[in-house]
Amino acid sequence: MSIRTIARLGALPAATAAIALSLAAPAGAHVSATVSDASAGAYTIATFSVPHGCEGSPTTKVEIQVPESVLSVTPTRNPFYDVETTTAQLDEPVADGHGNEVTERTASVVYTATTPLPDGQRDTFELSFQVPDAAGETLAWPTIQTCREGETGWTQVPADGQDEDELEAPAPSFEVLPAAEGTGHDDATAGTADDTTAEADDAAEAAGAAGSADAAADDEDGTSALGWAGLVAGLAGLAAGGLALARTRRS
Ligand SMILES: [Cu+2]
């Protein structure tokens, strides 16, 4: 049997595997959520993406239900939608991380399209909040996608040991990671919506300012070192020039 036949035979399983994988890809293209930071106590931004309509029909509304352990959420506006949040009363008032008593929580965020999202195009919705102190827990965000025709409830949560990919309409979710050093972990409770965004923005700003201060310092060091080098080079050049001049004069 020639090498070429063996190679050709070898390629077959690989080809079928590739086809199988590509067939499986649509599962990943469901309504899903990714977070900028999943660690307990962190101020984070979750991005919900809607990659297709309801069996071809354009999306007219997206309602994202907030898990009970997340107290307040700030939605990012989207020019193609009107956005509103609904709230629910808490059984017991809780203290937020800033000494305030909180008696209600954000229950859902509703994006109603002013221009329906055509099937075949995707859109994203960003929510800002503090990750609850629940390392190891999976936070599910049941999401109702309403379309011109029909509706899809992305609300299924896998049973213990079940793979999410087996579900037809899994709820967007992410697992809370252990608290990172220095996050608002010890606050244990989510800050108020405004605080949350302010904190998230502060964190981003602080990172930016630190960067520019360092850059300036580098710059300064860099320029002075450069300046010195230039000066020395200049002086050396001067000396060399002087020497050459003296030599020509003598001869
Ligand atoms: Cu899908």
| pLDDT per residue rounded down to tens, the chain (251 residues) | 565 565 555 555 555 555 554 545 454 579 999 999 999 999 999 999 999 999 999 999 999 999 999 999 999 999 999 999 999 999 998 887 677 888 999 999 999 999 999 999 999 999 999 999 999 999 999 999 999 999 999 999 999 889 888 999 999 999 999 998 765 545 444 444 445 555 555 555 555 555 555 555 555 555 567 677 777 888 888 788 887 878 787 77
Whether 189 contacts 97, CB under 8 Å: yes
> Which pLDDT does position 155 carry in this prediction?
97
For residues 112 and 80, give the distance between their C-alpha atoms in angstroms, rounded to a whole number.
Answer: 8
Q: How far is the CA of 192 from the centre of ligand 1 (A)?
A: 33
Contacts of 90 (CB under 8 A, 6+ apart): 102, 103, 104, 105
For residues 195 and 108, give the distance between their C-alpha atoms in angstroms, rounded to a whole number.
Answer: 19
For residues 64 and 88, give the distance between their C-alpha atoms in angstroms, rounded to a whole number.
Answer: 14
> Which pLDDT does position 122 carry in this prediction?
96
The full set of domain ranges for the chain reads 24-175, 185-251
Q: How far is the CA of 129 from the centre of ligand 1 (A)?
A: 26
Closest CA to 127 of 74, 49, 58, 180: 74
Closest CA to 43 of 202, 236, 227, 229: 202
> Which pLDDT does position 234 carry in this prediction?
81
Sign of CA dihedral 61, 66, 67, 68: negative
Q: How far is the CA of 51 from the centre of ligand 1 (A)?
A: 7
Sign of CA dihedral 16, 22, 23, 25: positive
> Which pLDDT does position 239 carry in this prediction?
82
Closest CA to 137 of 83, 175, 170: 175
> Which pLDDT does position 131 carry in this prediction?
95
For residues 189 and 202, give the distance between their C-alpha atoms in angstroms, rounded to a whole number.
Answer: 19
Contacts of 83 (CB under 8 A, 6+ apart): 75, 77, 109, 110, 111, 112
Q: How far is the CA of 110 from the centre of ligand 1 (A)?
A: 20
Which pTM was predicted?
0.64
- Which DSSP helix (H) or strand (E) runs through 238? helix 193-250
What class does CATH assign to 24-175? mainly beta
Q: How far is the CA of 25 from the centre of ligand 1 (A)?
A: 9
> Which pLDDT does position 240 carry in this prediction?
82
Q: Is 173 helix (H, G, I), strand (E, B) or coil?
A: strand
